[in-house]
Amino acid sequence: MATGTVSVFNRDKLYAEIEPDGGGDLVTAFMQEISAARLHDLQVGERVSYDVGSDGHVSRISRA
């Protein structure tokens, strides 16, 4: 799993942006994955681990 830091968490629009460790493009996690991991209380600045699916979006997420 890759690791990074939550840079945006928008409950209204149902997504989070993660800044990968080591730089690179932001990765998007949608509420489906966030809810499946029971991370409803995710916070900006929080460290997470994640897998990226073939569509380039987070397919699995957890607290690091």
Q: Give the span between the Cα atoms of 49 and 29, in whole angstroms.
A: 11
The answer to whether 39 touches 33, Cβ cutoff 8 Å, is no
Give the whole-angstrom CA distance, residue 10 versus residue 6.
11
- Total-model pTM: 0.91
Mean pLDDT, rounded, of the chain: 94
Q: Is the pLDDT of residue 14 over 90?
A: no
| Average pLDDT of the residues in 31-60 | 94
Q: Where are the beta strands (DSSP E) in the chain?
A: 2-10, 15-20, 27-30, 47-52, 58-63
The confidence score (pLDDT) of residue 46 equals 97
Distance CA 61, CA 38 (A): 10
